[in-house]
Structure 1
Amino acid sequence: MNTSSGIHLPSYTEQSELVKNRFDQLKQRPKVLEVKSASRVFSTPKGDVHALDNISFNVHRREFISVIGQSGCGKSTLIRILAGLESVTSGQVLLDGKQIDGPGPDRGMVFQGYTLFPWLTVKKNVMFGMKMRGESGTSAESEAMQWLDIVGLTRFANAYPHELSGGMKQRVAIARALANQPRILLMDEPFGALDAQTRAQMQAYLLEIWKNVDVTVLFITHDLDEAIYLSDRVLVLGANPSCVQEVIEVPVPHPRGPEQFISPEFLSVKQRLEELIYKPASEQKRVVIPRMTAVGDDVY
């Protein structure tokens, strides 16, 4: 396979040897999360809606796995089930071998929207979970300051959320989620509302945090570049019905950097994801819009 630029892109099959040893080692790690034949059906006046249909996959300790797919394929339903905010209609979802049956401190959650408590300072937002589980104020404050140092916001400890930028708010949200020392960090499009520059900075922050903190990450995103850049593996959900279409091992080596966005390995994985998610132009439904401009006033 060759591109017009002359760069050789190894096919997905050709890359198998590049990733074999790395992922053989990863699979030797304990399974933190096991999803077994999980389905979720919603009953509506118009009939049953299968949000998830027979979903199965595993996530290993300290793995970073992203979930992508077309809008409406069940990504948010899946992460809400993992967080304990929804239940499965059938199948099992296990964390460290135990059935998930509700929210718990063993799972941290970061949403796309800014979910900080506006009446609490940055420091007290991070302290909140620790205080709820009974830690003393002194201990919780000390730990909170350590987490703020990790996300680079120590000098904003006494600021309020409305005084922070979007990226800073999400860094506080990540610190608050990690302060409870969860087994897995669940992230539902956490950078989707950020501008491109801030988003890139947050991706770098997240990789640095993940490198230094004992946590497993499951990350929902629509952005193919983001999924490849951050992840060990990418789980692709199909739609109608929602199912696991493919699990792709990302051969881009660590540490990751912006220059890898144009590497042959990166581009090859992206091409495979595009094949799975986007329909060929010939299969897409053509949008018909009535003409509202003068004849001859063309822009193409």
Structure 2
Amino acid sequence: MQSSTVKDRFERLKQRPVTLEVNNLVKVFDTPQGDVTALQAINFTVHRREFVCVVGASGCGKSTLVRILAGLETPSAGTIRLNGAAVEGPGPDRGMVFQGYTLFPWLTVKQNVMFGLRCTGHSRYTAEQDALQWIDLVGLNRFADSYPHQLSGGMKQRVAIARALANQPKVLLMDEPFGALDAQTRARMQAYLLEIWQNIDITVVFITHDLDEAVYLADRILVLKANPGEVQEMIEVPVPHPRTPAQFLSAEFLATKRRLEELIHPPVTVTEDADRLNMVRMVAVDDAVGSVF
């Protein structure tokens, strides 16, 4: 059960203006085997300064959805509106962070963060000063003149976040940005991201396959089911803010994760021959593993 404090927070959240609105979104891919519907009848809204995670089984269209929100893919039907204006392609009102390290290897940290600012017409001086502020925000001011190959994976993603935020977008879109990081670095990056989100005016849509990560970060979690990708449920996360790693064992955290697992990995009835591998035994009969000796 949600505490009164958490309920009050969601009531306040619902009173904020809607930043992102998705209506009847459909995406159909034309393949040699015929049309494949990746997304069907997707409807949801995201409020200003909300943190929404999107989860779902493999193949449910999570990455396709975020690419459409970024304007990198064209929907087959439906509309996306950002602060009331139709989204019809990429734009500086949306920042994007990918799972892979998408920094320009021939540019320094500062030059990478300056890149978008220069493309949108900022002078070199203004772009440099703004870039240094964002680099300081992500804690990399000592590495402003370093090149990507001189940085760790977590540091590269912090630069990518700074670059995405430099144009001061309304929405930050993140497609499994920490998926390639080791567990310790991932935990640090989650904490960095929450701190950044709490201190700047940004709305976040975050794609992840990690259920712990979704519950730890999100205000609400959009659950997609696969084949085709459809909205299965929108879950309000009852874990109170500020979030801390200690909450991973709280009743609210575990109950939310359990609900996600029920939705994404429902129990199945396995017949005797289902999913059985056609294996030829290549060890001695008495060389047993996975059994009682």
| TM score, norm. by length of structure 2 | 0.95
Q: Which moved more, 1:263-272 or 1:233-242?
A: 233-242
Structure 1 counterpart of 2:284, one-letter code: A
Alignment partner, residue 139 of structure 2: 152
Alignment partner, residue 243 of structure 1: 230
Deviations 1:102-150 (A, max 9, x none): 1000000000000001111000100111111111111111111111111
Alignment partner, residue 277 of structure 2: 288
Separation in 2, partners of 1:271, 1:57: 23
Separation in 2, partners of 1:17, 1:238: 31
**Gaps (5+ residues) in structure 2?**
none
What does residue range 135-214 of structure 1 map to in structure 2 within 5 Å? 135-214=122-201
Alignment partner, residue 51 of structure 1: 38
Say if 1:18 and 1:251, in contact at 8 Å, map to a contact too. no
Deviations 1:146-196 (A, max 9, x none): 111110000000000000000000000000000000000000000000000
**Gaps (5+ residues) in structure 1?**
1-13
Asked if residue 29 in structure 1 is aligned to residue 16 in structure 2, the reply is yes
Structure 2 counterpart of 1:258, one-letter code: P
RMSD: 1.4
Secondary structure (helix, strand or coil) at the match of 1:282 reads coil
Separation in 2, partners of 1:236, 1:292: 43
Say if 1:19 and 1:249, in contact at 8 Å, map to a contact too. no
Secondary structure (helix, strand or coil) at the match of 2:235 reads strand
Separation in 2, partners of 1:79, 1:72: 14
Alignment partner, residue 73 of structure 2: 86
Taking only the aligned residue pairs, the percentage that are identical comes to 68
Aligned residues: 287
Separation in 2, partners of 1:280, 1:294: 35
Structure 2 counterpart of 1:286, one-letter code: D
Alignment partner, residue 95 of structure 1: 82
Alignment partner, residue 278 of structure 1: 265
Say if 2:108 and 2:144, in contact at 8 Å, map to a contact too. yes
Q: CA deviation at 1:280?
A: 1.5
Q: Which moved more, 1:212-221 or 1:92-101?
A: 92-101
Structure 1 counterpart of 2:66, one-letter code: I
Say if 2:6 and 2:240, in contact at 8 Å, map to a contact too. no
Q: CA deviation at 1:281?
A: 5.1
Q: CA deviation at 1:98?
A: 1.2
Separation in 2, partners of 1:205, 1:269: 23
Q: CA deviation at 1:248?
A: 0.4
| TM score, norm. by length of structure 1 | 0.93
Q: CA deviation at 1:283?
A: 4.7
Q: CA deviation at 1:17?
A: 6.1
Q: CA deviation at 1:18?
A: 6.4
Secondary structure (helix, strand or coil) at the match of 1:144 reads helix
Structure 1 residues 224 and 209 mapped into 2: Cα distance closer, same or farther (>3 Å)? same
Deviations 1:64-103 (A, max 9, x none): 0000001110001000100001111111111111111110
2:48 paired residue among 52, 55, 61 = 61
What does residue range 256-267 of structure 1 map to in structure 2 within 5 Å? 256-267=243-254
Alignment partner, residue 299 of structure 1: 289
Separation in 2, partners of 1:93, 1:21: 29
Q: CA deviation at 1:197?
A: 0.4
